[in-house]
Structure 1
Amino acid sequence: MDFDFELILAVAFLVTFAAWLYDRFVFAPKRKQILEQMAPEAALVLDKNAKLRLANTPKWLLEVKSYFVIVAVIFGVRSFVAEPFQIPSGSMLPTLEIGDFILVNKMDYGVRLPVLNSTLISTTEPQRGDVVVFKYPDNPSLNYIKRMIGLPGDVISYHNKRLMVNGQLVDEELLAELPVSKNPSREPVAVFAENLDGVSHQIYKSYRRNPLEGDWVVPEGQYFVMGDNRDNSADSRVWGFVPEENLKGRAFYVWLHWDEFFSLPSFKNNGLIK
């Protein structure tokens, strides 16, 4: 079952805000009037809860509106500043491991309207090499994370496990060969340092044949993305391009790693995302 926390949080914000407004303009003036008419001694013996219940203010209304400030802060920070995500798969190995908790800069690629994701204020444009979070084109309730490879108008080629952008091979250097025991993907892989427009990062390539090859021209308003675990990633080679309106932001920091619910969290991977 898909779980759209962004939508749930938006609904919670609207409900608590409506409750706050209802109390502010309907019951709060009545409570103030009653307190002003009471003798000072009588008003002093009333505690905060008793004062709030004056004018027959519904208990449910007070309960709902009490969450407004905290919901508004969480909603505002997640929507416009930074949003946390957990890495659910190994498609971005070795850059990001399963169980990494990351932060996404929501101000990159434009300040966007929550849920609808339409741009309110334009900021920076995506760059090749960025690690981006976006709404999966075939199911916008799902969030995906991949590396930005192709910008609008780019020609992308991937053959024999070599990446080419606009007719130029992307520089790479073999760093190591990992056996099964040292690779979370559970197969032998070669580790390469890839340089994509000055963004240096590591990628995995397996030794088996990969049918995910082809040539693509990136349309205007769309982007081509790939996982760093090149032979274990369903990305633009499989399901196509990412529309600009699906972008959520740039992943920039790992702040926690937690393998399983019954394991202890660690900070072994903390740091900026390259």
Structure 2
Amino acid sequence: MAATHPESTTQRTRKRRGRVDTPSAPSADGQARPPKSKLREWVEALVFALVVMLVVRTFLFDLFRIPTPSMEKTLLVGDYLFVSKLHYGVRTPISLGIPFTKIYVPGLTLPHTRLPGFTEIERGDVIVFNYPPEDLPIDRKTHYIKRVVGLPGDTLWIQNKVVYVNGEPQSLRPTMQQYWRIIKSDPRIMLPEVRLAELGIEEVQPTPDPRQVLIMATPEAAEAIAQWPYVERVEPLVIPRGGTYSDLMYPPGMGYSPDNYGPVVIPAQGLNVTLTEENWPYLEPVIRRYEGHTTGRQQDGTFLIDGRPATTYTFRQDYYFVMGDNRDNSEDSRFWGFVPMDHVVGKALFIYFSWDGRHHLPRLNRLFKPIR
């Protein structure tokens, strides 16, 4: 017969009541320790959860919310995104401070690198990055989200709203939208609001010409309107070169507009370029801001890098040209320039939640929707 330990009367009573006390753990000197208080258990659990969250958000993935309409209709205001940091490789911390805030030790830059990822950035990817022009350490800059249009080494230009990359026109995706000019056959006809709403069109603007109306729409919606019997034609609204936009573009003063831009060559790691009057205006800020050199010009026009005459320059990292899917309502590379690789945070994968602030309801049809 197996031996059993006798139970005291108190222990038998506690078991009948459904309660079993945890015995005190012995300390190093053999003395029993008192059990942890509930407060201490909660504090330890909270600290553990914070550490796990910090590690996950720093090295695996992060969560972001869309606050502006610059990516409509691909992404809507109120969409919550799952962003992978593993795809392009994890970027180690650059500044020292409180994580995920703009509180940091000024003047201190940590040695940093990007760990290997399992894919390269491809044209068409929707990426999250730190806003390049902001005057803060890279990992403390505001997060932006845009679509990659131009890759390192590409030659890009925009002509009458059509983006050309290495000479190839890039068609609009189904969820992209822009302004279109609707020319009606009769100025007295009003476009029916119900039919516009069915096509997802919320913005309609009158013009001085009663025959013309401006709408913000996807290519599919614009094509559908063009089939209406009282619509003569539908055409993109194009802003010509020059005018008031010239000083707002990147680089300023080149006569560019959002719809007629470039051409520009996108810098690439190891790319050696000959410096010219044509490319100096858009390459000089890159060399100075993101490559860490001083730049200037001599009186005779000679280019200076770190105080020495230069006729060529070799870039140390890759750069990307990004644009919003809401082409006429997006502040992107057309306005502030290229995205350096060390500013890239990760790849947007899917929408895990969406909140319609106008109607104060969740958008259930967008839950776990992949981002394409």
Q: Taking structure 1 as the reference length, what is the TM-score of the superposition?
A: 0.68
- Contact 1:134–1:249 under 8 Å retained in 2: yes
Other-structure match for 2:113: 118
Other-structure match for 1:273: 371
How far off its partner does 1:66 sit?
4.5
Where do 5+ consecutive residues of structure 2 fail to align?
Answer: 1-25, 96-111, 183-192, 206-214, 221-234, 241-256, 269-317
**1:260 paired to 2:352:** no
Give the distance between the partners of 2:173 and 2:50, measured in 1 at CA.
48
How far off its partner does 1:189 sit?
2.2
**Structural RMSD (CA):** 3.2
Other-structure match for 1:183: 201
Question: Higher strand proportion, which one?
Answer: 1
- Contact 2:82–2:352 under 8 Å retained in 1: yes
Letter in 1 for 2:37: N
Which stretch shows the higher mean deviation, 108-117 or 212-221? 108-117
Where do 5+ consecutive residues of structure 1 fail to align?
Answer: 1-30, 53-58, 194-204
Structure 1 pair 125–174 and aligned structure 2 pair: CA distance change class (3 A): closer
Q: Write out per-residue CA displacement over residues 186-230 of structure 1, whole angstroms, 9 at most, x where no aligned residue.
A: 65124137xxxxxxxxxxx96363731311210111110000111
Give the distance between the partners of 2:357 and 2:123, measured in 1 at CA.
33
How far off its partner does 1:261 sit?
9.5
**1:222 paired to 2:319:** yes
- Contact 1:134–1:144 under 8 Å retained in 2: yes
Q: Taking structure 2 as the reference length, what is the TM-score of the superposition?
A: 0.52
Structure 1 pair 155–143 and aligned structure 2 pair: CA distance change class (3 A): same
Q: Write out per-residue CA displacement over residues 152-195 of structure 1, whole angstroms, 9 at most, x where no aligned residue.
A: 110111121101000111234889979775435665124137xx
Q: Which has the larger radius of gyration?
A: 2
User: How many pairs does the alignment contain?
Assistant: 217
Give the distance between the partners of 1:228 and 1:162, measured in 2 at CA.
13
Other-structure match for 1:76: 55
Question: Higher helix proportion, which one?
Answer: 1
Structure 1 pair 109–173 and aligned structure 2 pair: CA distance change class (3 A): closer
Structure 1 pair 83–63 and aligned structure 2 pair: CA distance change class (3 A): same
Moved segments of 4+, more than 6 Å: 173-180
Name which of 124, 129, 132 aligns with 1:129: 124
Q: Write out per-residue CA displacement over residues 74-128 of structure 1, whole angstroms, 9 at most, x where no aligned residue.
A: 1122222221100011110110011111111110111221455730234321000
Letter in 2 for 1:253: F
- Contact 2:130–2:143 under 8 Å retained in 1: yes
Letter in 2 for 1:124: T
Other-structure match for 2:246: none
Which stretch shows the higher mean deviation, 119-128 or 82-91? 119-128
Give the distance between the partners of 2:162 and 2:169, measured in 1 at CA.
7
Which stretch shows the higher mean deviation, 146-155 or 69-78? 69-78
Give the distance between the partners of 1:206 and 1:91, measured in 2 at CA.
18
Other-structure match for 2:285: none
Which stretch shows the higher mean deviation, 113-122 or 228-237? 113-122
**1:93-242 superposed matches below 5 A:** 93-114=72-93, 118-139=113-134, 140=138, 141-172=141-172, 182-183=200-201, 188-192=215-219, 207=237, 209=239, 211-212=257-258, 213-215=260-262, 216-220=264-268, 221-242=318-339
How far off its partner does 1:260 sit?
2.9
**% identity of equivalent residues:** 36
How far off its partner does 1:272 sit?
0.4
How far off its partner does 1:133 sit?
0.4
